[in-house]
Amino acid sequence: MIVVCANRLYTPQEEIRDPLLFVEGGLISAVSSRAQREIPKNATVIDLGHDGPAEAILAPGFVDIHMHGGAGLDVMRAAPGELPHLNKFLTTHGVTGYFPTTVAAPLDQTCTALDRLADAIDAARNGDAVQARPLGIHLEGPFLSHKRRGVHPPECLVEPTLEIFERLWQAARGHVRMMTIAPELPGALEVIAEAARRKVCVSIGHSDAVLESARAGVHAGARHATHTFNAMRPLDHRDPGILGEVLTDPQISADIIADGIHLAPEVIQIFLQAVGLERSVLITDAMAAAGMPDGTYQLGPIQVEVKDGKCTKDGTLAGSVLTMDRAVRNVTRFSNWTLRDAVRAATLNATRAVGLTQHGQISPGAEANLVVLNPDGEVRRTIVRGHC
Ligand SMILES: [Zn+2]
C-alpha cells in the first residue's frame, strides 16, 4: 500500500487539508485527512508536503478530451513507436489521460489513423504505463458545417450518414468516445442518435445551427459543445443560434480553449458564468507545435504556421499550443474562479461529460492518477496509477 501525504487535496468537489491518500494496485482505496486516520506501518509513504518551499496540492490528473498532438507529433500521423514521446510531454504538464482527436481528412487516411490509435489505446490499457495515455478517440469531423469549418479541408467534409459513421466506428474498433458534429446537417440527427446509443459523447460544434437545430441535436442525444464560440454561428440578441442553446441548457456541458488567443478573457468569463462550475470543461485543442518553437507543423493533412504561439492556416486559427496546466492557470487569471474551480473544469467536469468514471476525481475506486500543484497552479509532479 502507498500513502501519499500533501498539504491540501482537491477531490475536486471538496478540499481536504493535510490529506492522506491511500493507493493499492494503482487504484485509490481511501481518502481522508491526517487527523482522521493513522498511516499503516507497512505502507510506503510519499510525503509531498515537505519536498518544496510552497504548499503541495494534490489534485486529479488532468484529462484533455480534445487534443491533436504536441512535442512535434500529430496524433493522426504519429507512428506507433512515437506516441510515448507525446505521452511523456503531456505528463510533464499534469495530463494523465486524453482523447487523441482527428481532423477532417480523406476517409481512407482517417480510417488508417483510427486503426493505429485503437492499437495505442489497447496497448496502453493492457500495459503498465506510467505516462499519460490515450483513453478514447474524439472524431472532430468529418460531419462539420462548410460555413464554420475553421481549417478543416472543405473537400474532406461529408454529410452525416450511418454508413460513414459505421465505417469510422469499425476502423476505430469501438474506441470512439466523442464526436463533434454540426446538428443542422442533413442526416445529422440520425447519426447523433446512433452515436449516443453507442455511448459516444456527441458534441455540437463547427456549426452554423440556428437555435431550433441546435436544440434538435440535443434532443437527438448530443450532450456537449465543442470549443464554444469558436467555429460557431455567433450570438445575436434576436438570433441566439447554437450559442443560445449551449449557454442556457443545464442538461449539456461545454468546453473552451482558454489560451487567451481563441477567446477574449471577458468571453471566457461570460462562458464560465453561464455554463457554471459543474459543466464548464477546459480543452487544449493543442496540435503538434505545443511545446515546440515557432515554425511549420502538420495538423492531420493541414499545414499550419505557428508564430508567437498562434497557429494559423491562411489567417484562420488552427489548433493551439496550449497545455492543460496553463489553461488552468489562465482561468484563474481571466476570471474569479479559484484554482480548485479551474482544476475541476480540467478533470471531473471533462470526465463526467464523456462518461469516464475512473478518471478525473480523487475517490475510492478511481485510478490513482494525480497531479501535484503549487498554489499558483505550476505542476510539481504527476503520478500515474500510483507511480511517481
Ligand atoms: Zn480541434
Q: Using one digit for the tens of pLDDT, what is the confidence trace for 292-342?
A: 999 999 999 999 999 999 999 999 999 999 999 999 999 999 999 999 999
pLDDT tens for each residue of 123-175: 998 777 789 999 999 999 999 999 999 999 999 999 999 999 999 999 999 99
What does the pLDDT read at residue 57? 98
Asked about 308 being catalytic, the answer comes back as no
Q: Which of 64, 255, 285, 341 is catalytic?
A: 285
Distance 289 CA to ligand 1 centre (A): 13
Mean pLDDT estimate for the chain: 96
Distance from C-alpha of 382 to C-alpha of 63, rounded to nearest angstrom: 12
Looking at residue 169, its amino acid is: W
At residue 95, the pLDDT reads 98
Q: Cα of 66 to ligand 1 centre, how many Å?
A: 6
Could you give the 3-state DSSP secondary structure of residue 352? helix
CA distance 316 to 321: 15
State the Cα–Cα distance between residues 373 and 269, nearest whole angstrom: 23
Give the pLDDT confidence score for residue 129 in this predicted structure.
Answer: 73
- pLDDT at residue 126, rounded to an integer: 79
pLDDT at 112: 97
State the residue for C-alpha cell 475541476: 344
| Ranges of residues in the chain whose predicted pLDDT is under 70 | 51
> How remote is the CA of residue 102 from the centroid of ligand 1, in Å?
8
Question: Which pLDDT value is given to residue 267?
Answer: 98
Give the pLDDT confidence score for residue 127 in this predicted structure: 74
- The Cα–Cα gap between 61 and 380 comes to 12
The pTM of the full predicted model, rounded to 2 decimals, is: 0.97
Q: How far is the CA of 106 from the centre of ligand 1 (A)?
A: 17
Which residues, in sequence order, are bridge partners of residue 307?
310
User: What pLDDT score does 119 carry?
Assistant: 95
